[in-house]
Chains A and B, each alone.
Chain A
């Protein structure tokens, strides 16, 4: 499949594919530069990877064999990958040519492996790292693929725990930070969590030059699954957790960590803030221009904002069923998407919603990416 955006629109091919979504709502001109990438589920329960503008107008789409999850942007900004949601065996790559052509390539995991939903590129753009499950041995692995060699697997390293979920590259350009969620799953019991009583999540650092595990850090509560992370350009890793235990009282779900400077630190927030997250966080993203961290909570129906330097909670925006969240490339805005079809543009300085669009036929899935 290789057609231009203009060709698609002129030929009405998007319409024949059945996913032309008219967006409703008010818009802000300065948000038009954002080209959003996300997995969506439509009303027919079909799963797509879509590229849309920030008003929800679909510019390109690609049918996925199941729900997609996280996506990663190539350092060039001209290609990206989306990874299937656990226990998917697919991931899909899109490349955008200078002429605005979109080319999609589908890839599958190796025998005995499935994806956990997240990937990250090496700084030089030559490799892609994915979190995967070696399910016969119940161990998490980081799989390395060579992009120039048809994404051939060239290495596989222990992730340092069970159920690795999101991973990110540290500012040094060679250390991966990995959220080992600790939850044991098997593809024959797709959504069952098999070890909640004994789970042992950790945050692990791995040297991509050698595959050596550098260090691992645990939280006091072994049922706080470390799921999503991002790294600020200061090197501080921000962590969003999901609680899998039976305690009903609120507890800190957001932590941060500075490599080689002790253990994981709980972010500072009131008990009411922790309570409002309902034991669950979604996307974690750093806006380095503003020094602000955004963390969504779809169960709490809100996006929370945190100060990178002080580690303190700043404020919340209520948004029903929100999960997708990403800062715009210029750092002036956050873009948030919801399972209800909303796209909200949030001013990164005032932390107020400046525009909202709605694509009521689409459920925007958990994570969002912006292509330059």
Chain B
């Protein structure tokens, strides 16, 4: 019965049009979003700073303990990055910041070659050389390669490896601080109050439109790059090496933190989010129903997923088989969420999905 009702409502909603919205609703959501986005960026900048400190200590006193401590700090930095990286618009896309912080997916050969060049160079790399060079040796994947590869400890004591790690980490601080400052200052102010602040946004709707499109881009990227491609969910064979953070086996944590952040931004945390806005418009609408279903589904499967994704590409145990099914369920939920945005949620919110930039020819 519920399915019939859903189909009926879906059909009806297909032929409806978005109503004109008052700017106040957008402003409420933008202000709440900023309350979540700014601390996330501050945390990422702080973690990057701490990672640099830890790498400095590791290079000064190399030991298995200090390597482990640094690896843990890398994971914490990655966690904070995963919560920032779903904000796929604005400062993150300026000057290739996203790629510079995390050049991924990337051919393993490019990364290995880049690291080797740095290690075997006659002099340690300068900050400028890292910043002006290839993105393959910038940011978190390059540090992962140096910290998590086989025999990482002895590797760091060879040639310029430790100096390179320190400079890459220093450059990561620059990137994280730049991103953070944009959100704490001009960009953040323009985002939360577009009418009264000079900047790129003229109206609250415009700022909200970019924010929502950025989140949906994140949904699509998580779905495709982190699940579909590495797990082989679309016909092509999967590849363990294509999972994110393969060397550190951090793929599951990355996914978990991405999804947690995504839901936080959608719901506005404790404040006024997309779900509240849809309910305020019409608590019985299909948009409310589908968003609620997806949030519950993603939350449920996200908790159930416990194994690293690389172990699920070719599951070797019954447990891994079951975990692969959980990963597939997350994939399906994200696919449904993407469709819900395109078919119901965007229209209800009064914003439009990017068109040419999403599917050109």
Q: Does B355 lie within 8 Å of A340, measured CB to CB?
A: yes
Q: Does A248 lie within 8 Å of B356, measured CB to CB?
A: no
What CA separation (Å) do A246 and B355 show in the bound complex?
Answer: 23
B18 proximity list for chain A (CB < 8 A): 43
Partner of B360, one of A248, A280, A361: A280
Which residues of chain A from 285 to 325 have a CB within 8 Å of any chain B CB? 298-299, 301, 318, 320-323
How near does chain B come to A68, taking the closest CB pair, in angstroms?
A: 11
Q: Does B357 lie within 8 Å of A339, measured CB to CB?
A: yes
Which residues of chain A from 212 to 241 have a CB within 8 Å of any chain B CB? 227
Q: Does B134 lie within 8 Å of A44, measured CB to CB?
A: no
Contact A366:B360 (CB < 8 A) given known A43-B347, A246-B106, A250-B96: yes
Q: How many residues of B contact A (CB 8 A)?
A: 28
Say yes or no: is B107 at the interface (Cβ < 8 Å to chain A).
Answer: yes
Q: Closest residue to A245 on the B side, CB-wise?
A: B107
How near does chain A come to B85, taking the closest CB pair, in angstroms?
A: 15
Say yes or no: is B196 at the interface (Cβ < 8 Å to chain A).
Answer: no
Say yes or no: is B14 at the interface (Cβ < 8 Å to chain A).
Answer: yes
Q: Closest residue to B210 on the A side, CB-wise?
A: A320
Inter-chain contact total with CB atoms closer than 8 Å = 80
Say yes or no: is B185 at the interface (Cβ < 8 Å to chain A).
Answer: no
How near does chain B come to A331, taking the closest CB pair, in angstroms?
A: 25
How near does chain B come to A326, taking the closest CB pair, in angstroms?
A: 15
Q: Closest residue to A85 on the B side, CB-wise?
A: B361
Which residues of chain B from 144 to 192 have a CB within 8 Å of any chain A CB? none
How near does chain B come to A180, taking the closest CB pair, in angstroms?
A: 15
Q: Does B110 lie within 8 Å of A247, measured CB to CB?
A: yes
Q: Does B96 lie within 8 Å of A339, measured CB to CB?
A: no
Q: Closest residue to A165 on the B side, CB-wise?
A: B361
B17 proximity list for chain A (CB < 8 A): 43, 361
Partner of A365, one of B107, B209, B356, B357: B356
Q: Does A323 lie within 8 Å of B360, measured CB to CB?
A: yes
Which residues of chain A from 145 to 196 have a CB within 8 Å of any chain B CB? 165, 191
How near does chain B come to A4, taking the closest CB pair, in angstroms?
A: 29
Contact digits for B71-113, partner A, Cβ 8 Å, 1 yes 0 no: 0000000000000000000000001100100010111001000
A301 proximity list for chain B (CB < 8 A): 357
Q: Does A298 lie within 8 Å of B357, measured CB to CB?
A: yes
Say yes or no: is B327 at the interface (Cβ < 8 Å to chain A).
Answer: no
Q: Does A366 lie within 8 Å of B356, measured CB to CB?
A: yes
Contact A339:B106 (CB < 8 A) given known A43-B17, A85-B361, A282-B360: no
A256 proximity list for chain B (CB < 8 A): none
Contact A44:B360 (CB < 8 A) given known A246-B107, A250-B96, A321-B355: no
Partner of A323, one of B14, B15, B136, B356: B356
Q: Does A366 lie within 8 Å of B361, measured CB to CB?
A: yes
Say yes or no: is A136 at the interface (Cβ < 8 Å to chain B).
Answer: no
Most B-side CB within 10 Å, residue of A280, A321, A365: A321
What CA separation (Å) do A340 and B18 show in the bound complex?
Answer: 14
What CA separation (Å) do A247 and B15 show in the bound complex?
Answer: 42
How near does chain A come to B113, taking the closest CB pair, in angstroms?
A: 12
Say yes or no: is B330 at the interface (Cβ < 8 Å to chain A).
Answer: no
A322 proximity list for chain B (CB < 8 A): 356
Q: Does A299 lie within 8 Å of B357, measured CB to CB?
A: yes
Which residues of chain A from 120 to 149 have a CB within 8 Å of any chain B CB? none
Say yes or no: is A360 at the interface (Cβ < 8 Å to chain B).
Answer: yes
How near does chain A come to B102, taking the closest CB pair, in angstroms?
A: 10
Say yes or no: is B354 at the interface (Cβ < 8 Å to chain A).
Answer: yes
Contact digits for B334-361, partner A, Cβ 8 Å, 1 yes 0 no: 0000000000000100001011111111
B200 proximity list for chain A (CB < 8 A): 318
Q: Does A275 lie within 8 Å of B105, measured CB to CB?
A: no
A248 proximity list for chain B (CB < 8 A): 99, 103, 106, 134-136
B107 proximity list for chain A (CB < 8 A): 246
What CA separation (Å) do A250 and B107 show in the bound complex?
Answer: 16
A242 proximity list for chain B (CB < 8 A): 360
What CA separation (Å) do A117 and B19 show in the bound complex?
Answer: 34
Q: Closest residue to B96 on the A side, CB-wise?
A: A275
Partner of B356, one of A86, A165, A318, A338: A338
What CA separation (Å) do A331 and B135 show in the bound complex?
Answer: 41
Q: Does B354 lie within 8 Å of A321, measured CB to CB?
A: yes
Q: Does B354 lie within 8 Å of A86, measured CB to CB?
A: no
A249 proximity list for chain B (CB < 8 A): 134-136
Contact digits for A250-282, partner B, Cβ 8 Å, 1 yes 0 no: 100000000000000000000010010000101
A54 proximity list for chain B (CB < 8 A): none
B354 proximity list for chain A (CB < 8 A): 298, 320-321, 339-340
B99 proximity list for chain A (CB < 8 A): 248
What CA separation (Å) do A341 and B351 show in the bound complex?
Answer: 12
B110 proximity list for chain A (CB < 8 A): 246-247
How near does chain B come to A210, taking the closest CB pair, in angstroms?
A: 30
What CA separation (Å) do A89 and B127 show in the bound complex?
Answer: 54
Partner of A339, one of B103, B210, B356: B356
Q: Does A275 lie within 8 Å of B95, measured CB to CB?
A: yes
A339 proximity list for chain B (CB < 8 A): 352, 354-358
Say yes or no: is A363 at the interface (Cβ < 8 Å to chain B).
Answer: yes
How near does chain A come to B333, taking the closest CB pair, in angstroms?
A: 23
Say yes or no: is A31 at the interface (Cβ < 8 Å to chain B).
Answer: no
A357 proximity list for chain B (CB < 8 A): none
Q: Does A69 lie within 8 Å of B356, measured CB to CB?
A: no
A299 proximity list for chain B (CB < 8 A): 357, 360
What CA separation (Å) do A363 and B342 show in the bound complex?
Answer: 13
What CA separation (Å) do A249 and B136 show in the bound complex?
Answer: 8
Q: Does B357 lie within 8 Å of A117, measured CB to CB?
A: no
19 extra A-B contacts, CB within 8 A, seeds A248-B135, A321-B354: A43-B17, A43-B18, A44-B15, A45-B14, A227-B361, A280-B360, A318-B200, A321-B355, A321-B356, A322-B356, A323-B356, A323-B357, A339-B354, A339-B355, A339-B358, A340-B209, A340-B352, A340-B354, A341-B352
Chosen A-B contacts, 21 in total, with CB atoms closer than 8 Å, are A41-B355, A43-B18, A86-B361, A248-B99, A248-B106, A248-B136, A250-B96, A275-B95, A280-B357, A282-B356, A298-B354, A298-B360, A299-B357, A338-B356, A339-B352, A339-B356, A339-B358, A363-B352, A364-B356, A365-B355, A366-B360
Closest 4 pairs between A and B when the two form their complex, measured CB to CB: A339-B355, A298-B356, A323-B356, A363-B355
Residues of B within 8 A of A (CB): 14-15, 17-18, 95-96, 99, 103, 105-107, 110, 134-136, 200, 209-210, 347, 352, 354-361
